[in-house]
């Protein structure tokens, strides 16, 4: 592949549809991790190419073997969820850990989940708290919500309602529907229904259909939906 300015290459790789697939495949075969990850995502989703989870995993592995943290996280996702391979959370864990230690916020969040649930690894709430906190410090809104839950429940850290409320607020302000719902629940419990209402409304708007329906049912009964995740 002839050399071209980085900005031009990134623009080509970002194009939608079949035209992008030609450039992405060429760049992936040339060995560019950015393109290998993009091609893997396209294959995983069937976006501009025929869906093929096994090939997606193969491209993620190629980039991951070169040390790319985003690709390592995606290998972990595939192995955890059975995309292109038999689901195996224990096999996913070292990929998440490598990416997490390299600073990838999604990998830190995903590793935290395995540790919190004891899924593929021994349950370790202190370890989960550690990785949620590192991801939250990078602005990961889902990790903020789980960090708040850890402070609320005393999972891996002493209970701290003040910090729990603060991290739920940050997650809510970041646009995450579960953070919005949980922050609204605290406001309502504190006797601030007017302050809670716009956050409940935002949570319902942003939630996927099954969760949205559950939220609406719970709100109509005047109680919260169950444990956040």
- In the 8-state DSSP scheme, what is residue 222? T
Which pLDDT band holds residue 1 (cuts at 50, 70, 90)? Answer: very low
**Residue % of the chain over a pLDDT of 70:** 88
Number of domains in the chain: 2
Looking at the structure, do residues 104 and 129 belong to the same domain, yes or no? no
Looking at the structure, tell me whether residues 115 and 128 fall in a common domain. Answer: no
For 135-161, write each residue's pLDDT tens digit: 999 999 999 999 999 999 999 999 999
Q: Burial code of 85-116, b = ≥16 C-beta within 10 A, e = fewer?
A: beeebebbbbbbbbbbeeebbbbbbbbbbbbb
Q: What is the pTM of this model?
A: 0.88
Same domain? For 65 and 36 the reply is yes
Domain containing 199 — which CATH number? 1.25.40.10
Q: What is the pLDDT of residues 57-112, one digit of tens each?
A: 999 999 999 999 999 999 999 999 999 999 999 999 999 999 999 999 999 999 99
Q: Is 74 within 8 Å of 60 (Cβ atoms)?
A: yes
Pair 105, 144 in one domain: no
Same domain, 101 and 153: no
Are 1 and 106 part of one and the same domain? Answer: yes
Q: Which of these three, 100, 120, 140, is where a domain ends? A: 120
175 — pLDDT class (breaks 50, 70, 90): very high
Question: Is 105 found in the same domain as 5?
Answer: yes
Q: Does the pLDDT at position 124 exceed 50?
A: yes
Last residue of some domain: 68, 101, 120?
120
Q: What is the largest CA-CA distance in the chain?
A: 64
72 and 175 assigned to the same domain: no
Whether residue 60 sits in one domain with residue 96: yes
Token pair listed for 216: 């609406």
Domain end point (choices 92, 120, 148): 120
Phi and psi (nearest 5°) for 184?
Answer: -60, -40
Shared-domain flag, residues 107 and 167: no
Which domain range does residue 146 map to?
124-229
Same domain? For 111 and 137 the reply is no
| Cβ 187 vs Cβ 164: under 8 Å | no
DSSP code string of 119-175: SSS---HHHHHHHHHHHHHTT-HHHHHHHHHHHHHTSSS---HHHHHHHHHHHHHTT
Instruction: Name every residue whose Cβ is closer than 8 Å to that of residue 135 and which is 6 or more positions away in sequence.
Output: 105, 106, 108, 109, 112, 143
Give the pLDDT score at 111: 98
> 166 with 98, same domain?
no
């Amino acid at each position: 592949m002839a050399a071209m300015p980085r900005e031009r290459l990134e623009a080509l790789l970002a194009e939608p549809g079949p035209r992008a697939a030609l450039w992405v495949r060429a760049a992936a075969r040339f060995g560019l991790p950015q393109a290998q990850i993009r091609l893997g995502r396209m294959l995983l989703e069937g976006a501009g190419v025929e869906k093929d989870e096994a090939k997606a995993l193969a491209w993620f592995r190629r980039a991951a073997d070169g040390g790319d943290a985003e690709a390592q996280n995606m290998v972990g996702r595939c192995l955890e969820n059975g995309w292109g391979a038999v689901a195996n959370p224990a096999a996913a864990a070292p990929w998440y850990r490598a990416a997490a230690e390299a600073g990838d916020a999604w990998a830190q969040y995903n590793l935290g989940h395995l540790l919190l649930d004891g899924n593929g690894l021994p349950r370790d709430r202190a370890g989960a708290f550690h990785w949620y906190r590192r991801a939250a410090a990078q602005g990961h809104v889902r990790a903020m919500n789980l960090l708040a839950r850890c402070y609320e429940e005393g999972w891996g850290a002493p209970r701290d309602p003040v910090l729990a409320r603060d991290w739920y607020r940050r997650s809510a302000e970041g646009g995450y529907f579960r953070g919005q719902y949980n922050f609204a629940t605290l406001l309502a419990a504190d006797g601030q229904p007017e302050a809670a209402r716009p956050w409940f409304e935002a949570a319902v708007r942003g939630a996927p259909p099954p969760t949205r329906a559950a939220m609406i049912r719970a709100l109509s009964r005047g109680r919260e939906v169950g444990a956040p995740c």
